[in-house]
Amino acid sequence: MAATRALIRRGARDLRLLAVPQCGIQADMLIGAGCVRGIEAAAVTMGELGGAPRFNAAVKAGAIEIRDSTCPAIHTALQASEKGVPFMPLRGILGTDILAHRPDWKVQDNPFAESGDPIVLLPAIRPDIALFHAPRADRAGNVWIGRRRELVTMAHAAARTLVTVEEIVEDDLLADEATAAGTLPGLYVSGVAEAPMGALPLALTEHYGADTDHLGEYARLARSAEGFAEYLQRHVLAQDVAA
Amino acid sequence: MPVTRTELLIATIARLLEGCGHVAVGASSPIPGAGAFLARALGGDEMRVSVLGSRRHNFFTDGGRELFDCAAQGRMDAFFLGGGQIDGEGNINLVGVGDYPTLDVRWPGSFGSAYLYFLVPRVILFREEHSPRVLVPTVDFVSAPGVSEEGVWRRGGPHALLTGRCLFAFDRAARRFRLESAHPGESAESVAEATGFGYDAADPVPETAAPDRRMLDLIRGRVRDEIAETYPAFAAEVLGTAA
């Protein structure tokens, strides 16, 4: 979230967002602030707090390009980039309106079947940037992600990976097998910035819970463009700009 | 204490899950989650239950894709899906009402439905609101189709549809729901009035079986404690506070 706020303060424009595989307040804020040209996602939601208000308004106004997807299609298309292959097949999806609205997806018969067996082929997704927050990194740019392995897939697939962390530690995260197994090696990491409490108002597992009051305030204010502007002024634009 | 509607739904879900080895529960699903925990307790703890959003009841370690890969490997016997709209052929819509993409009402998105509906043998559709605006003749957007053409690889699909009024079973060959039982206070007529699609029905329509003493004790004790980790408000407000 710290990086999301920084993007808004910097007046980022024309971003194409890829949710892995769904997103909420981050995408909603970027859309509301006019930073986004298009979004690909399996879902955009504020969870228990209901729909994502600025996303919903932008969809209705036709203000952003939307590519509806399904969770495993996003994971799989990133895995294609991980392997450096142009596409990956995936079961299911046939007969959906998701497929009907995705001219970039193709259906072909399984070449190994004796006959028939149509299967969906997904083109590889190679993001320009993977962006996420993690508990810690070391001086060599190794980032501890625990069992959130989709972050590894994102980094493998993306051209560049930018990470914010709670803290930068002096230990070598690859030195001990116990931490190495949950570590994204610095080979895949382009930049790390320290941003304590950087996930707030969202939770960071084992570090802090979500700030539900803050999320509730957002969900309430962002229902209108004026309320959203008030939120931005209060919680994003008026902050000391470190990033 | 009389049996509540929520307890009836939890018990009905547990009965639908009988014999499953691994049941996965998606996001924002406290009642299906409680139903799965009850089925596990009744079956001597042999069932594996994975709950999205839980730390304790989540044995996945390979990132967001693992749930989907696990289903593809045939290691998941049951899953739950909902729908803003559900039609008489078991098609579900999680995207919105109106003409895509601008839509009149936008919902979060299809999540993994387009895939899991094909892969998981026993998909239980659960939607508490049972009204003509939810149970429609034809969905506006197919997030996931209830049935597929001949020749499409598919091992899974709708098994049952449980609502706040009744339980339907799904007949894949007939491509239709069949009214199995009506909850206390409902009748064949009241269900028909609230349903926007055609279906077959038992005659007379039996009443949905109430949970027995053992089930009730588990729901109000162990199951409540297990679900409280992921859904504390639900456990406290709906299933009563811990003794």
Which of B62, B72, B101 comes nearest A149 by C-beta? Answer: B62
> Token pair for residue B190?
């009241």
Contacts of B85 (CB under 8 A, 6+ apart): B92, B93, B97, B133, B134, B135, B136, B139, B140
Which of A45, A60, A96 comes nearest B114 by C-beta? Answer: A96
Residues of chain A where predicted confidence (pLDDT) is lower than 70 = 239-243
- What is the value of ipTM here, to two decimals? 0.95
Q: Do A149 and B148 touch (CB under 8 A)?
A: no
Shared domain check, B224 and B206: no
> Token pair for residue A141?
């740019």
Shared domain check, B102 and B200: yes
Q: What is the pLDDT of residues A167-193, one digit of tens each?
A: 999 999 999 999 999 999 999 999 999
Residue B34 · residue B211 · CB < 8 Å: no
Instruction: Give the closest-approach CA distance of B228 to chain A in angstroms.
Output: 16
Residue B203 · residue B30 · CB < 8 Å: no
The domains located in chain A, with CATH, are 1-69+211-243 (3.40.1080.10), 87-123 (no CATH), 126-210 (3.40.1080.10)
Interface check for B241 against chain A (CB to CB < 8 A): the answer is: no
Chain A hits for B144, CB-CB cut-off 8 Å, are: 92, 96
Q: Which amino acid is at A15?
A: L
Task: Give CA–CA dist B122/B157, Å, rounded.
Answer: 6
* The predicted structure's pLDDT at residue B243: 40
* The predicted structure's pLDDT at residue B241: 54
Which of A61, A66, A75 comes nearest B68 by C-beta? Answer: A75
> Token pair for residue B238?
């709906």
Shared domain check, B101 and B30: no
Torsion sign over Cα B105, B107, A127, A219: positive
Shared domain check, B174 and B105: yes
Chain A hits for B110, CB-CB cut-off 8 Å, are: 42-43, 68-70, 96, 98
Shared domain check, B185 and B109: yes
Q: Do A51 and B107 touch (CB under 8 A)?
A: yes
Chain A hits for B116, CB-CB cut-off 8 Å, are: 92
Shared domain check, B172 and B105: yes
Instruction: Give the closest-approach CA distance of B13 to chain A in angstroms.
Output: 22
Interface check for B234 against chain A (CB to CB < 8 A): the answer is: no
pLDDT along chain B (243 residues), means of 10: 94 97 92 97 95 89 95 97 97 97 95 98 98 98 97 97 98 97 98 98 96 96 94 85 47
Interface check for A82 against chain B (CB to CB < 8 A): the answer is: no
Instruction: Give the closest-approach CA distance of B232 to chain A in angstroms.
Output: 13
> If you count residue pairs, one on A and one on B, with CB atoms under 8 Å apart, how many are there?
140
The residue among A91, A118, A120 whose CA lies nearest residue B72 is A91
Strand partners, A67: A40
Residue A135 · residue A103 · CB < 8 Å: no
Instruction: Give the closest-approach CA distance of A60 to chain B in angstroms.
Output: 5
Shared domain check, B219 and B175: no
Interface check for A151 against chain B (CB to CB < 8 A): the answer is: yes
Shared domain check, B242 and B131: no
Shared domain check, B136 and B109: yes
Shared domain check, B89 and B177: yes
Instruction: Give the closest-approach CA distance of B90 to chain A in angstroms.
Output: 13
Name the residue of chain A whose CA is nearest to B119's CA.
A92
Sheet holding B122-127, edge to edge: B48-51, B22-25, B78-81, B122-127, B158-163, B166-171, B176-182, B200-201
> In chain B, how many domains are there?
2
The residue among B194, B188, B183 whose CA lies nearest residue B129 is B194
* The predicted structure's pLDDT at residue A240: 58
> Token pair for residue B137?
């003749």
> Token pair for residue B177?
């729901």
* The predicted structure's pLDDT at residue B132: 98
The residue among B215, B218, B216, B189 whose CA lies nearest residue B204 is B189
Say which CATH number the domain at B140 has.
3.40.1080.10
The residue among B161, B160, B101 whose CA lies nearest residue B134 is B161
For B118, the domain range is 82-211
Q: How many Cα neighbours within 13 Å face the side chain of B117?
A: 30
The residue among A218, A173, A175, A179 whose CA lies nearest residue A192 is A173
Shared domain check, B43 and B29: yes
Residue B140 · residue A118 · CB < 8 Å: no
Which of B65, B145, B152 comes nearest A72 by C-beta? Answer: B65
Q: Do B102 and A60 touch (CB under 8 A)?
A: yes
Q: Which amino acid is at A42?
A: A
Interface check for B56 against chain A (CB to CB < 8 A): the answer is: no
Shared domain check, B123 and B205: yes
Name the residue of chain B whose CA is nearest to A92's CA.
B115
Chain A hits for B28, CB-CB cut-off 8 Å, are: 47-48
Name the residue of chain B whose CA is nearest to A107's CA.
B152
Name the residue of chain B whose CA is nearest to A182's CA.
B61
Q: Do B110 and A60 touch (CB under 8 A)?
A: no
* Inter-CA distances, A1 with A134, A169, A203, Å: 11, 21, 10
* The predicted structure's pLDDT at residue A26: 97
